[in-house]
Structure 1
Amino acid sequence: MLIAQVTDIHLGFEPDNPDEFNRKRLDEVLHALNHGPNRPDLLLATGDLTERGDADSYRRLADAFSQCEFPVWPCMGNHDDRANFAAHFPHIPQEEGFVQYVIPLEGRRIVVLDTLEPDRHGGAFCERRAEWLTARLDEDIATPTLIVMHHPPVEVGIDWMNTHPQEPWVQRFAAVVAGRSNVQAILCGHIHRAIAAPWNGTTIAICSSTAPQLALDLRPMDPETPDDRPMIVADLPAFALHRWTEHGLISHFETTGDHDALARFDASMQPLVRALIGERPA
């Protein structure tokens, strides 16, 4: 199974611009997924779908996703609004007022969480959400499972976007997933960079954004002393492709745009290809 992931779309950053930069970047990614060599079986959109959570941005987002030739499954980020989202994505389940649900698949499943808390930039995972996730994980302790959420529960090293491991929501989430050997990975967004990290017996894979990305600067940051460091950079729009096999999840991170081909599979490369594949067991 091939799962695509986009995140941090921030549609509506320029609300009155029909040629909005962030919409163009999203369209580039969706075109690559629809027409490139790696068409996915489904697409996960992992939060910050819009910039302001306004109804018109969700309308435009639904229009963008309508071009997809595969199912699209979104979740909430800190820039989103549940009510406005639901008005334009009524087919996406909500449980107890949260956009959280299970995507059943043949021999696998994906559990989508809602880590939005209005007026808070960082993540949230309250007792009600913990009870819901506990129930979903308890009802099937064997099927290989992915958890999908916007906020990563791990400290990534970019000071102004870090999540502290002692935050109450992180501790609550960690307690729910502890010892769940069938949770094969946790897919997140929020950081606007591609990052992979071990965490509590599983792996966290963070997808970079379709919107502009965070600059990679791992130095500490003093909020009282501006130092003119870059914070946001306009690298190419990015996405992830997660190949889910019987051995687990293999994550690839890609960007749009033209990639200069320095070699192609032609007659000159055929001997190398034959040799490499010939080394493998039959």
Structure 2
Amino acid sequence: MLIAQVTDIHLGFDPGNADELNRIRLDRVLDALTTGPNRPDLLLLSGDLTDNGDAASYARLADALGRCDFPVWPCVGNHDDRANLAAHFPQVSIEDGFIQYIVPLAGRRIVVIDTLEPGRHGGAFCARRAAWLAATLDADRATPTLIMMHHPPVEVGIDWMNTHPEEPWVARFAAAIAGRDNVAGIVCGHIHRAIVAPWRGTTIAVCSSSAPQLALDLRPMDPDAPDDRAMVIADAPGYALHRWGEEGIVTHFATADAPPTLARFDGRMQGLVRMTMGERPA
């Protein structure tokens, strides 16, 4: 199974502009997914789908995704609005005040959770959400499960975007998955960079954004002393492909830019292909 992930679209950052940069960047990612060689079985949208949570931006997003002939499953980020998202994506609903649900797959499942707290930039995960997740995982402890959430519960090193490991919401999330050995992985957004980290017995994969990326600067930051460091950069729009097989999940990160081709599978490369593939067990 091949699962695509797109995150941090931030549609509506430039309201009213039909040629908004974030829409153009999203279209480039969707072109890669729908016309490229790696057509996914489904697409996960891991939050910050719009910049202001307005209904018009969700309508534009739904229109952009109309080209996808595979299922699309979204979650909320700190820039999103639950009611407007649910109104434009009828495949999800608001349960107990949150957008949290299960995507059943053949022999697998995806559990989507909600880390939004309006007015807060960082993550949130209250006792009610933690209880829902724990009960959902306990109801089926055998089926391999991928969790999608917007905010990563791990400290990534970019100081102004870090999640502190002692934040109460992190402890509640950690307790909800503790001892559930069928959690195959966690996919997140929010950081606008591709990051992979081990965490609490599983692996977190943070997808790079389709909107502009954040600069990679791991130095400490003093909020009272601006130092003119780069914060947002014009890297190519990114996405992830999660290949979920019998051995687990393998994640690839890619961009919508087509790099120059230096070799193709032709007669000159055939010998190398035969040799490498011939070394495998029959």
Separation in 2 of the partners of 1:86 and 1:107?
Answer: 27
Matched, 1:6 2:9: no
Q: Which residue does 2:81 correspond to in 1?
A: 81
Residue pairs, 1:110-259, within 5 angstroms: 110-259=110-259
Q: Output the CA distance in 1 between the equivalents of 2:91 and 2:261.
A: 41
Looking at structure 1, the residues matched to 220 and 141 of structure 2 have their Cα atoms a distance apart, in angstroms, of: 41
1:168 maps to amino acid: P
Alpha carbons 2:138, 2:180 under 8 Å: kept: no
Look up the SS of the partner of 2:267 in the other structure.
coil
- Give the CA deviation at 1:94: 2.2
1:275 aligned partner: 275
The one-letter code sitting in structure 1 at the alignment partner of 2:205 is A
Inter-partner Cα distance in structure 1 for 2:17 and 2:96? 35
Corresponding letter in the other structure for 2:171 = Q
Return the alpha-carbon distance in structure 2 between the equivalents of residues 64 and 13 of structure 1: 16
Kindly provide the amino acid, as one letter, of the partner of residue 224 in structure 2.
E
Contact 2:3 2:243 in 1 (8 A): yes
Asked whether the equivalents of residues 188 and 206 of structure 2 are also in contact (C-alpha less than 8 Å), the reply is yes
Return 5+ residue gaps in structure 1 as ranges.
Answer: none
- Does the CA contact (< 8 Å) of 2:62 and 2:89 recur in 1? yes
The 1-side partners of 2:193 and 2:180 are apart by 27
Residue identity opposite 2:106 in structure 1: E
Query: Which residue in 2 is equivalent to 1:27?
Result: 27
Equivalences for residues 44-123 of structure 1 within 5 A: 44-123=44-123
Q: Which amino acid aligns with 1:69?
A: D
Structure 2 distance, partners of 1:134, 1:272, is: 49
Aligned-residue sequence identity (percent) comes to 73
Out of 184-193 and 255-264, give the one that drifted further: 255-264
Question: Deviation of residue 84 (structure 1)?
Answer: 1.4
In structure 2, distance between residues paired with 1:194 and 1:142: 29
For the 8 Å contact 2:46–2:76, the answer to whether it is kept is yes
2:73–2:91: 8 Å Cα contact kept in structure 1? no
Give secondary structure in 2 for the equivalent of 1:66.
Answer: helix
Equivalence for 1:16? 16
> What secondary structure, in the 3-state scheme, does the structure 2 residue paired with 1:253 have?
strand
- Between the two proteins, the alignment pairs up a number of residues equal to 282
| 172-181 or 40-49: bigger deviation | 172-181
Q: What does residue 261 of structure 1 align with? A: 261
| Unaligned 5+ runs, structure 2 | none
CA distance in 2, matches of 1:93, 1:246: 31
TM-score normalised by structure 2 residue count: 0.99
Shift of 1:46: 0.2
> How many Å separate the matches in 2 of 1:78 and 1:101?
18
Letter of the aligned partner of 1:96 in structure 2? D
- Partner AA of 2:31 in structure 1: H
Native 8 Å contact 2:54 2:81 kept in 1: yes
The Cα of 1:90 is off from its aligned counterpart by: 2.5
Q: CA offset at residue 93 of structure 1?
A: 2.5
Shift of 1:123: 0.3
Could you tell me how far 1:179 is from its partner in structure 2? 1.5
Q: Which runs of 4+ in 1 moved over 3 A?
A: none
Task: Kindly state the Cα deviation for residue 102 of structure 1 after the two structures are TM-superposed.
Answer: 0.1
Render the CA deviation track for 1:57-95: whole Å, top value 9, x for unaligned: 001011011111100000000000011112212331221
Paired residue secondary structure (2:268)? coil
SS in 2 for 1:45: strand
